[in-house]
Structure 1
Amino acid sequence: MSTSIDVSSGSMEGKEESPAQKHLKFFKGSQLPPLISNGPPHVLISGAGLAGLFLANLLERANIPYQLFERAKEVLPLGSIMCLTANILPVFEQLGLYDDLMKVSHPSLSTKILSADLKKIGEFNAENDIEVTGYHRALFSRPELYKILLSRIPPHKIHMSKKVMSFLQNKDGVMVRLQDGSTVHGDILVGADGAHSAVRQTLYQEMEKQGKLPQCDTRRMMKGYICMVGTTGPLDPAKYPGVDVPASDGTLLIGNSSSPYAWSMFSVPGNKMCWNVVLQLDVDASEDEQFRNSEWSSITNKRMIEEVYHFKTPYGIMGDLIDATPSEQISRVFLEDILYETWHHMRTVLIGDAAHKLLPSTGQGAVNAMQDAVVLANCLYDLTPLSIDGIKTALKDYREQRFAHVKTQYEASQMGAKLQYGHTWQERILRHFVFNYMPKSVQRNHILKDSQYRPQAMFLPPAPKRGSGPVLAQKPSKRYAEKQTMSGSTMVV
């Protein structure tokens, strides 16, 4: 007798496999025809990061059964900063999460760019963007969003300390093996397990054996920077002017040629401040000679803290902010980036960092992960009847709708990193030109253009149209249109 997880009921109790589960044991030489049903797919999600949590919220509203598996004992992200804009906030309105998010956010109105000795280099101002986009840029500490998303997921659908180790898939289903030896069966596996995705690694190994993996997807992620982040406890407004104002004015400082660092700080609700420090790595230096961790973790950061402790800020020195931050809330990580070509194969699909890792310079990594979840949920909602061919078509449709948009943001994040974190002589010249000679209207038009792409959940009533700017049309849901017709309602797209 083996231990299994009953996906349809969500039970985690050990039980003898049913005949249906035994049918999914992937015995070789089966001549049975592929299974076809009229029900929704059973979705297995690996990873309870933002991509996995957001997808779970969407599937909950779409009435698509799912189970979410997370390797950690608890979902407790470290306190890095996040900024969401018009290209994802409409979905928060659809899901009924917008008001909760606004309670823990500040509108981000401007960011000053200074040199290491506090001389002004440039400024980004978004105060008037709301007239066109309809939304302020919402700035907040990342753990606040996790709390909101977790609150909407039924506890029996999320399983902690359940790391996905490997999986098998065929025309009848997908079987996932967890670290504790248990197995779970479903119709679709979603790899939302981050940049070092175990799902992607297993998928690519399978495809490579079959000769189906493109050569470009065998390369390693690039590591050009390392980042340390933290969120302070409540600060004294007398020492940190403006920290108690319900709007966030951020500051980015860029080091000189002898100090290849950039550091920034933004106020968030609760009189707190999120800060980060980014170091550009020497292209000739090995990773082992720099820092050894490749994922967010609250390990000792003594070496990097000593380097940046006396860096100037508008409030004093970086050491003041570091000292005001609980040590367990300080973490560092390599800033890696890569855009994979392969996002799906048979019953398995990748979203978020598992499919594309963006540098944080434009703040669009998390946004793109959530946009992935929205478009994938739309494709799964229209998946009927349920069959292996239908699944392949749905996953292909998801990738086709998303890839070009992600590629644009991927390239923008690389350019943003050169401007914000770069310290080569070419990058310094580029930064000088952009901040001193490029018309502000060009920068602003580029940002407003990004806001035109705002995928929504097409199985829910659309969010109100906000702002005077145009919005790109997206693929409508045939199933939702049919339901509206049957109920006598009129769908507005």
Structure 2
Amino acid sequence: MKNRILIIGAGISGLACALMFEKIGYTPVIFEKSDCLRHDGGGLTLWNNATDALQAMGLLEEIYESSKIICESSLTTSSGKILAKIPLDELATKYGTYTVGILRSNLHHILASKLNQTEIKTGYNLVNLKETNEEVIAHFENGHEEAGELLVGADGIYSAVRNKLFPNHDLRFSGYEAWRGISSYTNQYTKSGFTFESWGNGKRFGFIPMSDSLVYWFATRNTLENLKESQISKEQLIYSFREFVQPVPAVIEVTKGKDITRKLIYDFKPLQNWSKGRVVLIGDAAHATTPNLGQGACMALEDSVVLAQCLEQGKNPFDAVKAFEENRKDRAKLIVNKSWMYGKIAQMENSLLCKVRNLIVKNCPSIYKNNNFNKIVGHKI
């Protein structure tokens, strides 16, 4: 099975990995648990570090054509008072690529459309792994088994591959839930490429243009983990965020109920290792993070490029995955921990503490001059 790589999961990390493996002469095959490839999903912010990775993949111009370039971002209170601004057009000049808002489905389509030699098999649920001196063998629920030189677990936060390698690593509940929606909406923000996040007491709302007339939005609220995940009516959601100024109520109002989803937010504490033998984890399977920094998809794209680089250097699979881990673990740990901390601060509920928090944020040096911020979005592969 020389040069054959098995990839579990056909999400962003799996598709991006396959594309990079093709570029360096490997033959990937993707196994997806679902019966079909995903064509749904919400929106994504691809920060400069992600568009830098996409440039390395040769996809940057097509990404720009299928997304909205974001020129400025603001952090505000629920009443609309500005706490901080990030001039993303200046960061584009500094880092060499733009930050964009893009539909997840658009990114999936672009990645999948560039695959030439990769076979994608749907309806394959991994149940076991076995490794020999020369190959790794994947066993699936449908009775099929397949062997390869390397197996990549790109199957997300609920990774079956991770559960085989590290079965006692539990998910961590954030303390809040998120609603997400896509809506047709046009105003000066969508036209100019302006994004914002508004903080209330135990609640947040984010607005990210996907085009001149399409918006991806998210709304978070503190909750208990044992509440059932169920659909909430649009009317209830509007009422819950009634103290937020426009365009928040208007954006929710124009969103169709079927296009609003609710999800409890989890991550997991950073793993000590991402691999065993010929099996390696990437993306959310390796370092699932809360969405507060908008880095989940960005990190998956980075992972794909770096893992391919390690293999291209002529290393055997064992050395390649160890080099990949060495390159990526500290960065992933930084982002997971900073995102977790950001969420705790942003989701504060006590009104007095929220006032103090807002005052501190407003009087701090500019976010985009913060060293950690630059480490995250200004990262070059």
State if a TM-score over 0.5 links the two structures.
yes
Write out aligned runs for 1:120-269 (5 A): 120-154=82-116, 157-205=119-167, 218-232=169-183, 234-235=184-185, 237=186, 240-243=187-190, 245=191, 247-256=192-201, 260-269=202-211
Root-mean-square deviation (Å): 2.6
Deviation at 1:430, TM superposition (A): 6.3
Deviation at 1:303, TM superposition (A): 5.5
In the alignment, what sits opposite 1:414? 340
Cα distance in 2, alignment partners of residues 395 and 273 from structure 1: 38
User: For residues 441 and 402 of structure 1, do their structure 2 counterparts lie closer, same or farther at Cα, with a shift above 3 Å needed?
Assistant: closer
Deviation at 1:221, TM superposition (A): 2.4
1:200–1:354 contact (8 Å) kept in structure 2: yes
Cα distance in 2, alignment partners of residues 189 and 85 from structure 1: 28
Among candidates 388, 398, 404, match of residue 330 of structure 2: 404
CA offsets, 1:19-76, max 9 Å, x none? xxxxxxxxxxxxxxxxxxxxx5311000011111110110111111110111112222
User: For residues 180 and 369 of structure 1, do their structure 2 counterparts lie closer, same or farther at Cα, with a shift above 3 Å needed?
Assistant: same
In the alignment, what sits opposite 1:428? 354
Cα distance in 2, alignment partners of residues 430 and 173 from structure 1: 57
2:78–2:245 contact (8 Å) kept in structure 1: no
Cα distance in 2, alignment partners of residues 169 and 427 from structure 1: 53
User: For residues 381 and 424 of structure 1, do their structure 2 counterparts lie closer, same or farther at Cα, with a shift above 3 Å needed?
Assistant: farther
In the alignment, what sits opposite 2:302? 371
Write out aligned runs for 1:3-82 (5 A): 40-76=2-38, 78-82=40-44
Write out aligned runs for 1:203-352 (5 A): 203-205=165-167, 218-232=169-183, 234-235=184-185, 237=186, 240-243=187-190, 245=191, 247-256=192-201, 260-269=202-211, 271-281=213-223, 285=224, 287-288=225-226, 290-292=227-229, 301-302=231-232, 306-309=236-239, 311-312=241-242, 314-316=245-247, 318=249, 320-338=250-268, 339-352=270-283
User: For residues 69 and 326 of structure 1, do their structure 2 counterparts lie closer, same or farther at Cα, with a shift above 3 Å needed?
Assistant: farther
Q: Which has the higher helix share?
A: 2
User: For residues 325 and 138 of structure 1, do their structure 2 counterparts lie closer, same or farther at Cα, with a shift above 3 Å needed?
Assistant: same
Q: Which amino acid in the other structure matches residue 395 of structure 1?
A: V
In the alignment, what sits opposite 1:29? none
Deviation at 1:133, TM superposition (A): 1.2
User: For residues 291 and 223 of structure 1, do their structure 2 counterparts lie closer, same or farther at Cα, with a shift above 3 Å needed?
Assistant: farther
**Structure with the greater alpha carbon radius of gyration:** 1
Q: Which amino acid in the other structure matches residue 173 of structure 2?
A: M
Q: Which amino acid in the other structure matches residue 193 of structure 2?
A: S
Cα distance in 1, alignment partners of residues 199 and 345 from structure 2: 10
1:88–1:371 contact (8 Å) kept in structure 2: yes
User: For residues 426 and 180 of structure 1, do their structure 2 counterparts lie closer, same or farther at Cα, with a shift above 3 Å needed?
Assistant: farther
CA offsets, 1:258-311, max 9 Å, x none? xx2211212221501111111123xxx4x22x234xxxxxxx522686144462
In the alignment, what sits opposite 1:5? none
Cα distance in 2, alignment partners of residues 225 and 436 from structure 1: 24
User: For residues 305 and 143 of structure 1, do their structure 2 counterparts lie closer, same or farther at Cα, with a shift above 3 Å needed?
Assistant: farther
In the alignment, what sits opposite 2:293? 362
1:133–1:448 contact (8 Å) kept in structure 2: no
CA offsets, 1:454-491, max 9 Å, x none? 11xxxxxxxxxxxxxxxxxxxxxxxxxxxxxxxxxxxx
2:27–2:118 contact (8 Å) kept in structure 1: no
435-444 vs 183-192, which deviates more? 435-444
Gaps spanning 5+ residues in structure 2: where?
A: none
| Structure 2 counterpart SS, 1:45 | strand
| Structure 2 counterpart SS, 1:127 | helix
| Structure 2 counterpart SS, 1:117 | coil
Gaps spanning 5+ residues in structure 1: where?
A: 1-7, 9-39, 206-216, 293-299, 385-389, 456-493
1:51–1:373 contact (8 Å) kept in structure 2: yes
Cα distance in 2, alignment partners of residues 107 and 419 from structure 1: 28
Instruction: Report percent identity of matched pairs.
Output: 23
| Structure 1 counterpart SS, 2:71 | strand
Among candidates 426, 430, 437, match of residue 363 of structure 2: 437
2:171–2:267 contact (8 Å) kept in structure 1: no
Q: Aligned residues, how many? A: 379
Q: Which amino acid in the other structure matches residue 251 of structure 2?
A: L
